[in-house]
């Protein structure tokens, strides 16, 4: 199944971009401690429409939404 339009747009969103309405959280939010005690978080999402899966990360300022490669 091809990616739905909101998911295509999701890939372009930055850290402050919110998940579109058909993206649901899967698993718990993960907290990491990076270099120099910088902490960041990641959260996985799945689309109810096209089943695309994303990981959101606060470690990146732009394009914070990463599409899972299948």
Q: How many residues bind Zn ion (CB under 5 A)?
A: 6
Pick the binder of Zn ion from 49, 55, 57, 59 (CB under 5 A). 49
Q: d(Cα 17, Cα 34) in Å, to the nearest integer?
A: 22
Pick the binder of Zn ion from 19, 44, 47, 54 (CB under 5 A). 47
Q: Which parts of 1-40 interact with Zn ion (CB under 5 A)?
A: 4, 7
Quote the tokens at residue 67: 């599409």
- What residues contact residue 40 under an 8 Å CB cut-off, 6+ apart? 31, 32, 34, 57, 58, 59
Binding residues for Zn ion, rule: CB under 5 A, are: 4, 7, 47, 49-50, 52
């Amino acid at each position: 199944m091809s990616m739905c339009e909101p998911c295509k747009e999701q890939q372009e969103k930055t850290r402050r971009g919110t998940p579109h309405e058909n993206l649901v959280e899967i698993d718990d939010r993960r907290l990491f401690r990076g270099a120099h005690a910088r902490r960041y978080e990641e959260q996985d999402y799945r689309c109810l429409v096209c089943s695309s899966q994303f990981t959101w990360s606060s470690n990146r300022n732009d394009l914070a939404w990463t599409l899972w490669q299948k």
